[in-house]
Amino acid sequence: MKRLLRRCILGLLSLMMCIMTSGCWSAFEIQQVDYAKAFGIDYKNGMYHLYVQTLDFASVAKSENSTKSAEKPPVWVGHASGKTMSLALNELFRTAQLHIAWGHVTAIVMAEGVLTSKHIKEVFDMLGRFPESRYTTWVYGTREPLEEILSATSIYNMSPLDSILHNPLPGYMEESLFPPVLSFKLIATHNDPATTTYLPSIALNKTQWTENQKEHDLFLIEGAFFEKTGVAFEYLPRSQLPGYHWLIKDMRRAPLLVQKEGTIYGALSVGLPTIKIKPVIHGEDVTFHIDAKYLTALYEYLVPTSYGEMIKISEDKLREQILQTYRHGLKQGVDIYGLQEKLYRKNPKLWRKLTSNGTRMMLTEDSIQDLKIHLTIPYTGKYKRKV
């Protein structure tokens, strides 16, 4: 009797397990899914505007033979608006012909309209709250129409994923001017009142590359958005940020023209920095000492000069560009190099007093009291440097 009861219980448990694990009821076939790879956010005329870039699965998957195709892969862009981002998203669902999968998004682009408005907090709230959003998504700002940004394709008819928008690291390794930003870092810095939030600005270059003598739009980073103290974001073009990258610890390589009084002596590739920023406190007077060291490579040597003279010209140029960028930031109310954060880490009580809890800029043109630049040229290419 006990054996029979035990068999009945085991049979019921087995039946329940079969029912509970009998397949994925909510699953979709691959060909019945729209894969969202990027979306854009804008705010104008009191409405949120969402743009979604979706790709066909065939243009995303890589074949064993080649990632190139004889035809350009199709790029679809959907657009909807609403009084809130959630309502705009639901409006988009009304015309979506297939199920949209959001777990594969690799890029988010925010227009200048939403970055410079007071509604940026709502955007960050949704990015962190939406259950399918990932914290490893590349994030950009832009001043160009979002539909053009999300409709651009890559070179050689390759997948749109092989571009700066979806994969910015290869380009950054070649020229480390504006570091790419992941969404988790953006949210973390934005939630920290002592940290200057930085966002690279993506744009389209329509002149440098052609395909069969026809212009082809390709991505580039043209500048950056920086969070103003206690306000929204402020845009600074590349021309006003000549020295921004010199104080980035993760900078890999960047070009430097060795020029003095109209004479171009050569060109250096500068990288591998060691940077120390120290706040110096005298009562309520705070200044900063910066010590930066770089290793460089000489790839162009046009006018012979002594090693010491070339080092001096290069160090003076770096110092000039760093201070020039710093002053441009001050004019826009931006702490470009995050100096105030250094004070916060050392003396948070004094930081709160001088900045009114992060709502006021404490920096002046004289805040950088000492800027030391040390540069060495251990590599001169396949040729020796001539004197």
Q: Which tens digits make up the pLDDT trace of 226-236?
A: 998 666 899 99
Structure tokens belonging to residue 254: 């960047």
H/E segment holding residue 285: strand 285-301
The highest-confidence range among 53-57, 211-215, 339-343, by mean pLDDT, is 339-343
Does the pLDDT of residue 101 top 90, yes or no? Answer: no
Does the pLDDT of residue 22 top 60, yes or no? Answer: no
The highest-confidence range among 1-5, 95-99, 240-244, by mean pLDDT, is 240-244
Quick one: average pLDDT of 74-86? 90
H/E segment holding residue 126: helix 120-129
Does the pLDDT of residue 2 top 70, yes or no? Answer: no
Does the pLDDT of residue 65 top 50, yes or no? Answer: no
According to the model, what pLDDT value does residue 25 have?
53
Give the pTM. 0.87
What does DSSP assign to residue 172? H
Q: Which is higher by pLDDT, 131 or 156? A: 156
The highest-confidence range among 58-62, 127-131, 344-348, by mean pLDDT, is 344-348
Quick one: average pLDDT of 331-339? 94
Q: Which is higher by pLDDT, 350 or 64? A: 350
Q: How far apart are the first and last CA of the chain?
A: 103
Q: Which is higher by pLDDT, 198 or 229? A: 198
Quick one: average pLDDT of 172-188? 92
Does the pLDDT of residue 91 top 60, yes or no? Answer: yes
Give the confidence band of 133 by pLDDT, cuts at 50, 70, 90.
Answer: confident
How would DSSP label each residue in 315-349? HHHHHHHHHHHHHHHHHTT--TT-HHHHHHHH-HH
Flag the least confident range among 223-227, 369-373, 375-379: 375-379
Mean pLDDT score of the chain, rounded to an integer?
Answer: 87
According to the model, what pLDDT value does residue 73 have?
80
Does the pLDDT of residue 339 top 60, yes or no? Answer: yes
Quick one: average pLDDT of 301-329? 94
Does the pLDDT of residue 287 top 80, yes or no? Answer: yes
According to the model, what pLDDT value does residue 97 have?
82
CA angle 5, 10, 12 (to 5 degrees): 95
According to the model, what pLDDT value does residue 132 have?
74
Does the pLDDT of residue 4 top 70, yes or no? Answer: no
- For residues 96 and 105, what is the distance between their CA atoms, to the nearest angstrom? 17
- Closest to 200 in 3D by CA, of 183, 173, 219, 179: 179
Flag the least confident range among 2-6, 20-24, 139-143, 239-243: 20-24
